[in-house]
Structure 1
Amino acid sequence: MKGKIKNKIILLEDLAKKVADYKKAGKIVVQSHGIFDLIHPGIIKHLNMAKSQGDILLVTVIKDKDVRRGPGRPIFPENFRVESVASLEQVDYACLVDDEKPFECVRRIKPGIFAQGQAYKERDRKIHDKIYEEEKEFYFGKSKIYETGGFSFSSSQIINNFLDIYPQETSSFLKSFARKYSFDAILDQLNHIKKLKVLLIGDGIIDEYHYCEAMGKSTKALLVVHKYMAHEIFAGGAFIIANHVAGLCEKVHLVTLLGKEDSKEEFIRGALRPNVDLKFFYREDGPTICKKRYINQYLNQKLFEINYLNDTYIDEDCESNIINHLNSAIPEYDLILISDFGHGFITKKIIRVIEKSSKIFAVNTQTNAANAGYNLITKYNRPNFVCLDETEARLATQERFSNIEDIAKNISKILNAEYFIITLGKRGSIGVSRNHEVNLTPVFSTKVVDTVGAGDAFFAFAAPCFAQGMPLDLVSFIGNAAGALAVQIVGNKKPVEKYELIEFIHAILK
């Protein structure tokens, strides 16, 4: 990289200081912000118009980890993208920034003018509605928003039309789907979910990721010795599902179980969204469930897992207290979600209460190492919506090799569910309705970081869509899109945000 270009690329902290100095000197600073994956004529025109509004043009480029605009994005890694931007004559400074919270860098830099591109002007008004209405002042402060005009190009549209991101089958599906459902129609449906009142009951789980580095074979035992490097703690299980749903719906009530000793309640409360209303019950004979995974940091491969739990059923007193609470709470909610990990919390009596009292209830029974073969969907009667993975569906029917469509139809008939969806990993999902409609949706993910929590994200987004009355193909589409975003997140580090889902859908339907 030439010295002149290299000197234009600086850190965010340094950029904020330079901007403050320029403003003191009476200079007008203009900021543009985005991915800048492809430098096409629309971007050049946008930057030229942005530069014409002031004395200094700075461009903030979103880091790879926060790019969830669509499949295969970014095409080019962050160091190439920021160098390409810095190579443009009209750009004075370029900077790589986090974008986990949209436009956070604008708030920190405080430019005189924020230049908004023509291609994204309407898209961002729809996707980031809160930013443009309720929180505009917080992010942009006194910065004037300047919308560059003229003709526009979209990088997503260019990529979708000219680069083979998806196999032919998936591309054909998306073109057909886009003819049936416009982006605006899907956005309108998602926005209507906001008023849905949801009660979630399920096993809350603390996920710990311990990162290690292999040192070599032990001289005294047949094992590989690892060196501890770092660790992260996430709120998983029903906790992450609550966070997913709370991004869609204003009112979410979580009913879950903690251990009496070392409950980790403070961490859990801090990890949940403010609009998640909590009702904890406690068991005397076991801990809050914690699953520790040990991971080779270099290869990003899981080595082994240790579970801290008591997976026997809760005692009768605790069960009675839960049932009393559900009897009084369930009538207030439009949708009851059951996230059943089979760890002793959701008993047969609790299931019967939910079945009897719910307007609509949706179930996800999970198979894991602690319950394989024992936590089957068939213990539920007439659920409205069910979501399982392929292994869970095959165990429920004891059909190891049968055609998956036949299995889906069989379980749907046994349960008499309105919608029954099986997630199929790389093969997408298959859905069956009570009126015998069968829907196949391909997978949308092109980059997989971690599959843990992908099924939870699918369930958390698909179930409210079902409760809102969306057709099976649209419910499956939205669930698959949420799953594609979830596999790009390490464990349950963060929920899939509504704006990320909308951006992703906007990109793949272009």
Structure 2
Amino acid sequence: MAAEIGPRPRDRTVIMCHGAFDIVHPGHLRHLMYAKEKADILIASITTDEYITKAEHRPFVPQELRAGSLAVLEMVDYVVIDPNPTPIQNIRRLQPDYFAKGYEYFANGVPPKTQEEMDTLAEYGGEMVFTPGDVVYSSSALIEASPPQLGLEKLVALLESEGLRFKDLRQVLKNLAGVRVHILGDTIVDSYSYCSLLGATAKSPTFSVKHDSTERFSGGGAIVAKHMRSAGASVTFSTVLGNDELRGFVEFDLAQCGIDCLPVIDATRPTTHKERFISDGYKLLQVDRVDNGVISDKVLERLAEQLESTPADLVVFSDFRHGIFNRQTIRTLKKAIPANAMKAADSQVSNRWGNILDFVDFDLLTPNEREARFALGDQDSMVRPLASELFRRAHCKHLILKLGERGLIAYRS
């Protein structure tokens, strides 16, 4: 860019604008048109996604799409995605004759950051110009009033940035067929007992309900195994079960799915069971039958033996904090993973203590935002710096920070 516009003094004047340009609106167009009238060449510089901190979920439009929205405008000659938190470095590098700011940066006093930009321009004789405020819009206000539906465009931009197409994603799923996956995790039997409300009892302020039906599902690490099996993988599942009725339910359910279940039976503890009582769509009560104590050395040894003796391309530690995993057992179990297997881990934090940073030097970690904040003791940071710090501390090759309906943030080494 610097070579194309040449050093000062130039035959043609250059003006530069900088901003997020999250949703390009008439105010932006007026700003850019005014700037172009002041010079021969207009450079539009945009802030990278990483440094937009106006709100938790911004930017709404990824940087590649924002740059493309400006590049198609006739008045814009060049678009720059600035990798720095402020435009100062690019001002020094490109040395535009003018730097254009909106009138709002001047009307109520010059902010410190704007003053820094003015001082940088003065270093080489550049000039700050303020565009009129006769057309006023706000990207933030527009997004809040009517959020655009850009999910598909964002996905396409992400794929293109990686040189991928949709058929490549389909091929990845097809390639899961036959992949040997060994999952080690806490099994939870989730029961939902549906009831009809009869009313309050006469002797105490207690609800009385009539039981209608109950549904049971294999949850915890077992549902992870079922998902991997439904994706086409060849799945082995190691877990700890009690010597009770629910043991038979879990073994039968997983066998029906084609999963090779290798339970270690511990008669001293029950199969973890969480039963919810529901009436008219409302959860009235949850009763847990669980022993969250640490597994015995004997059980740990048998689980390690299963890991070591079972060939696997991928080993997943599915930690629901019901006894299998803690800082000490993780070290033992990790050593038992076959040498060439990829290592992945997920640690759930709901009402139980757990820390994803106990799983150090794994190939993949997949915490959610709450689990990341818990691990780092950080309730205040924005999600990007939060994910970056977790990635640094975990020494993992890949990190996927799950954000629910907001999507995810992925890091890789």
* TM-score category, normalised to shorter length: 0.5 to 0.7
* Two-structure CA RMSD over aligned residues (Å): 2.3
Q: Does structure 1 retain, via aligned residues, the 8 Å contact 2:185–2:318?
A: yes
Q: Does structure 1 retain, via aligned residues, the 8 Å contact 2:193–2:277?
A: yes
- Aligned pairs for 1:10-29 within 5 A: none
Q: Does structure 2 retain, via aligned residues, the 8 Å contact 1:283–1:318?
A: yes
314 and 406 in structure 1: CA distance in 2 versus 1, 3 angstrom threshold: same
266 and 234 in structure 1: CA distance in 2 versus 1, 3 angstrom threshold: closer
Aligned to 2:373: 394
Pair 1:287-2:270 in alignment: yes
Q: Secondary structure at the match of 2:295?
A: coil
Deviation at 1:252, TM superposition (A): 1.1
Q: From 236, 259, 276, give the equivalent of 1:276.
A: 259
Distance 1:397 1:412 in 2: 11
248 and 363 in structure 1: CA distance in 2 versus 1, 3 angstrom threshold: same
Q: Secondary structure at the match of 1:322?
A: helix
**Number of equivalenced pairs:** 263
The structure with the largest alpha-carbon Rg is 2
TM-score by length of 2: 0.59
Pair 1:344-2:323 in alignment: yes
Q: Secondary structure at the match of 1:264?
A: helix
Q: Does structure 2 retain, via aligned residues, the 8 Å contact 1:423–1:429?
A: yes
227 and 173 in structure 1: CA distance in 2 versus 1, 3 angstrom threshold: same
Higher helix share: 1
- Could you list the per-position Cα deviations for residues 341-396 of structure 1 after superposition, in whole angstroms to 9, with x for gaps in the alignment? 11012344542234333431100101122x1xx21112121111011122111111
- Could you list the per-position Cα deviations for residues 388-445 of structure 1 after superposition, in whole angstroms to 9, with x for gaps in the alignment? 12211111111122211111111110111111112222322222222xxxxxxxxxxx
| Amino acid in the other structure paired with 1:253 | T
Q: From 293, 301, 318, give the equivalent of 2:299.
A: 318
Q: Does structure 2 retain, via aligned residues, the 8 Å contact 1:242–1:276?
A: yes
Aligned to 1:406: 385
Q: From 209, 221, 236, give the equivalent of 2:204.
A: 221
TM-score by length of 1: 0.48
Aligned to 2:217: 234
325 and 351 in structure 1: CA distance in 2 versus 1, 3 angstrom threshold: same
Deviation at 1:264, TM superposition (A): 2.6
Percentage of identical aligned residues: 24
Distance 1:322 1:174 in 2: 40
Aligned to 1:92: none
Distance 2:302 2:407 in 1: 40
- Aligned pairs for 1:483-502 within 5 A: none
Pair 1:254-2:237 in alignment: yes
Q: Secondary structure at the match of 2:366?
A: strand
- Could you list the per-position Cα deviations for residues 22-68 of structure 1 after superposition, in whole angstroms to 9, with x for gaps in the alignment? xxxxxxxxxxxxxxxxxxxxxxxxxxxxxxxxxxxxxxxxxxxxxxx
Distance 1:174 1:325 in 2: 40
Q: Does structure 2 retain, via aligned residues, the 8 Å contact 1:214–1:225?
A: yes
Q: Secondary structure at the match of 2:269?
A: coil
Aligned to 1:51: none
Distance 2:185 2:210 in 1: 35
Deviation at 1:182, TM superposition (A): 3.1
353 and 321 in structure 1: CA distance in 2 versus 1, 3 angstrom threshold: same
Aligned to 2:150: 169
Aligned to 1:334: 313
Deviation at 1:267, TM superposition (A): 4.7
Q: Secondary structure at the match of 1:284?
A: coil
Pair 1:307-2:288 in alignment: yes
Greater length-normalized contact order (CA 8 Å, ≥ 6 residues apart):
1
Aligned to 2:396: 417
Q: Secondary structure at the match of 1:286?
A: coil
Pair 1:366-2:348 in alignment: yes
Distance 2:343 2:248 in 1: 27
Distance 1:228 1:304 in 2: 13
| Amino acid in the other structure paired with 1:429 | L
Q: Does structure 1 retain, via aligned residues, the 8 Å contact 2:255–2:261?
A: no
Q: Does structure 2 retain, via aligned residues, the 8 Å contact 1:235–1:268?
A: no
| Amino acid in the other structure paired with 2:295 | I
- Aligned pairs for 1:201-212 within 5 A: 201-212=184-195
- Could you list the per-position Cα deviations for residues 318-355 of structure 1 after superposition, in whole angstroms to 9, with x for gaps in the alignment? 222222232222xx211100100110123445422343
Aligned to 1:379: 358
